[in-house]
Amino acid sequence: MSTTTVSVARPRDGGERITRGDEGASVLEESVKPAAPALFTFPNRVLFGEGARVLLAREIAQLGMKRPLVVADPGVVRAGLVGAATAGLGWYALFADVEANPTEADVLSGLERYRDHHCDGLIAVGGGSPIDAAKAIRLLTTHPGKLVDYDVTAGGMDAIRATMPPMAAIPTTAGTGSEAGRGTLIQIPANRRKTAVLSPYLLPSVAICDPELTRGLSPELTAGTGMDAFSHCVESYFSTTLHPICDGIAVEGLRYIARGLESAVRDGSSREPRSAMMMGALLGGISFHKGLGVIHSLSHALGSEGRAHHGALNAILLPHALRFNRDAAAGRMADLGTRLGLGRGGDAAGHLITLVELVLARLPLPRRLGLVPGLIKAAIPEYARLAMLDHCHRTNPRPCSTADMEILLDRAW
């Protein structure tokens, strides 16, 4: 694993200050006047709006955080987003070695950095990978054992307590919703798969959602992360868990995504689509507190090799999963189609599937699993096995078997 060089200067007060010489040039203007970001609390404290990042120093001070560890990935550093997000801070330590699909090794390296610099809180800057890695680091600062001990499928949630340091999450993509999520996904060698660790105590103390931080995303990454958010809203709406609050949030999230996705892909500098996508991703992250389904079990299995983009996998699998669930969730699918304005009569479920196909046809994403580098068709039985070990399919509207998983993967190939 590469090692980020962090230079430590000693100011006159005798303390340590981490310099920012390796953070790259910001894609944003240096002088940002804070607007009046919206503040709401559900399920955690959220600051939302352009320029909201400048309130970071105030927020971590309120949390009692004086020596934060900033967790990021190399791309976020190169893009200047770490510098933009932390411009108002004094001292902080930087850990920027998180991989695209975070591993247990990433977490342990970050934990070592946290302890070496005597940190008292975390700030995650980036997409779902840095935010998930920061959550896992946060857990291990106060909880004994290994990450595998907290695997949700093995009852690990019951072992997680509230005794963790504060954490701020600053998303730089509009997709995972991890800033409002209660879980982290980490590749753990002991399980040989992406492993979910879930607890309401893992919710970031505060989420600072500044759409300006997403304006440098490429069309491909905008589309992939956007379809991640889209699939969160759709799949959580069909989840078998009873949670009408999350149902309403999922529908509202889809409305925001519908307003912003294609426009943000076409013109990444446009403000309103970027804002709509960040809100849609946030709402998607809240909605899947209700649970997800077969799409995510399959994409987690396929992503266990660490190569494929999670959102792109979700996009490929989405129409096939909708067809698989159609009979079991016909009423819910028809209801969602009606709520999205697809007509009150006729085949609303079919119209919903058609809508998804039309959206995907206009996005710069692969449409088949066989087009995703690193995936191996001969490994379908192994991917199916790993998918059955994942927790998400437990709330899928149609019960899943290993054979079902293999059929779905074959159809999507």
180, 50: one domain: yes
Q: How many separate domains does the chain show?
A: 2
Tens of pLDDT along 175-202?
999 999 999 999 998 888 889 999 999 9
Among 212, 239, 254, which residue terminates a domain? 212
251 and 201, same domain (yes or no): no
125 pLDDT higher than 50: yes
Mean pLDDT calculated for residue range 43-57? 95
212, 236, 264: which is the final residue of a domain? 212
> In angstroms, rounded to a whole number, what is the distance separating the alpha carbons of residues 337 and 350?
9
Which DSSP helix (H) or strand (E) runs through 375?
A: none
Are residues 94 and 139 located together in one domain of the fold? yes
Give the pLDDT confidence of 239-264 residue by residue, as tens digits: 999 999 999 999 999 999 999 999 99
What single string gives the DSSP state of each residue in 244-272?
HHHHHHHHHHHHHHHHHHHHHHH-TT-HH
The distance of Cα 103 from the centroid of its chain, to the nearest Å, equals 15
**Do the domain assignments include residue 5?**
no
CATH number of the domain where residue 380 is located: 1.20.1090.10
The pLDDT of residue 344 is 58
Q: Which of 116, 89, 110 is nearest to 17 (CA)?
A: 89
Q: How confident is the model at residue 403 (pLDDT cuts 50, 70, 90)?
A: very high
Same domain, 231 and 322: yes
CB-based contact 143:202 (threshold 8 Å):
no
Give the pLDDT confidence score for residue 257 in this predicted structure: 96
Residue 21 lies in a domain: no
Query: CATH code at 190?
Result: 3.40.50.1970
Q: Are residues 193 and 240 in the same domain?
A: no
DSSP β-bridge partners for residue 387: none
pTM of the model: 0.89
Answer with the one of 212, 238, 265 that is the final residue of a domain: 212
- Tell me which residue range forms the domain holding 152: 36-212
Confidence of residue 168 (pLDDT cuts 50, 70, 90): very high
Asked if residue 148 and residue 195 are part of one domain, the reply reads: yes
Task: Give yes or no: residues 103 and 222 share one domain.
Answer: no
- Residue 406 sits in the same domain as residue 347: yes
Q: Is residue 16 part of a domain?
A: no
Question: CA–CA separation, 214 vs 171, rounded Å?
Answer: 8
Q: In terms of domains, do 201 and 349 share one?
A: no
> Would you state the pLDDT for residue 351?
84
Q: What is the pLDDT of residue 346?
A: 67
Q: Please report whether residue 99 resides in a domain.
A: yes
Share of the chain above pLDDT 70, in %: 90
The average pLDDT across 79-96 equals 95
Residue 255 inside a domain? The answer is yes
Q: 87: which 2 tokens?
A: 């411009």
Dump pLDDT digits (tens) for 301-316: 998 866 789 999 999 9
Is the Cα dihedral 218, 223, 227, 230 positive or negative?
Answer: positive
260 and 164 share one domain: no
For the chain, how far is it from start to end, CA to CA, in angstroms?
32
Same domain (yes/no): 227, 196: no
For residue 254, tell me if it sits in a domain: yes
pLDDT confidence tier of residue 66, bands split at 50, 70 and 90: very high
Q: Are residues 284 and 180 in the same domain?
A: no
Q: How sure is the predictor about 33, in pLDDT bands with cuts at 50, 70 and 90?
A: low
Beta bridge mates, 17 = 9
